[in-house]
Amino acid sequence: MDIRLRIPTMWRLRTRTLELGRRTRVMGIVNITPDSFSDGGAYLAPEAAVSRALQLLEEGADLLDLGAESTRPGSRAGDATPAVSAEEEQARLLPVLEAILRARPDAVVSVDTYKAATARAALAAGAEIVNDVSGFTWDAAMPGVCAESRAGVVLMHTRGRPEQWREQPQLAVDAVLTMVREGLTASLELAVHSGIARESIVLDPGYGFGKRFEENYALLARQRELLALGRPLLAGVSRKSFLGRTLAPLHGGHDAPIDARETASVAALTAAILNGASIVRVHAVRAAVEAARIADALLDSAQES
């Protein structure tokens, strides 16, 4: 396997740039929600969320990703009415964002939202990046907000809506990458057409977002092919359900519980790095930083040979 994949590039954010490709960047997750699949409720209180964010920075996170609405399967009641209003999302998010930046003005903060109103408020409060799980498909105003602010953006591929995922027909193994590539291409073209610089864009294949269990492995195995789109890749595989399903034989035939997926998460993120990811989005930062060091050393060795 040719692992000489990543070319160093600069990711243009709202007020600064971040080098990608020379070493893996670790994005630490802070869920300010009562119902996220992994740690819902643990950091809903602002003080707990801020403490967690500062801990992740101390553990070596290069970026923080703050989310205030869960997008786990079945988390939304319908297309027209979000489970969390923009007002409630901002009430959860903004105090945490502001407190983090008071404590650590140098922190690079991403906001996980698909709502333009929330993105606008968060960028005004100091966020550098908008991480849109819908790839600009759920709120038509989002591209304009990101273009106007010159924010960094993460465009993720999502197949359908969360409430649809459990009922979606299974894809043929060779159809998964094609679907993701076409979806990311459309999101990328929309972003550029809206005035967002290509240098501001990172792409995310969207593991678990409308992909059934084994479909995620087909995507991960061929993830490097998405580099042909010309933008760096972010991979979010941490604690995902497809990992828990694979571990079921070790847990009496039942999917491994969330707290038993950490080793599998490290294995999957290492595979993602070796298949071209420049950023990994994780819950357990220290383990990810250590795994990334090893994967990066292998990539460096391949570059030198």
Q: Provide the annotated active-site residues.
A: 240, 281
CB 303 within 8 A of CB 5: no
Q: Rg of the Cα trace of the chain?
A: 18
Calpha distance 2→155 (Å, rounded): 26
What distance in Å separates the CA atoms of residue 169 and residue 91, rounded to the nearest whole number? 37
Q: Which ranges of the chain would DSSP assign to H, the alpha helix?
A: 46-58, 86-103, 116-124, 142-149, 173-193, 213-221, 241-246, 262-274, 285-304
CB 150 within 8 A of CB 120: no
The token duo for 27 is 């994005």
Only one residue has tokens 């998405």, namely 226
Q: Is the CB of residue 119 less than 8 Å from the CB of residue 142?
A: yes
DSSP one-letter code for 239: T
CA–CA gap between residue 242 and residue 209 (Å, rounded) = 11
Q: What is the token pair recorded at 293?
A: 């060091």
Beta-carbon contacts of residue 125 (< 8 Å; ≥ 6 apart): 94, 97, 98, 101
**Two tokens, residue 238:** 């941490």
Q: CA-CA distances (angstroms) from residue 186 to 66, 218, 219, 234?
A: 25, 21, 18, 17
d(CA 159, CA 179): 9
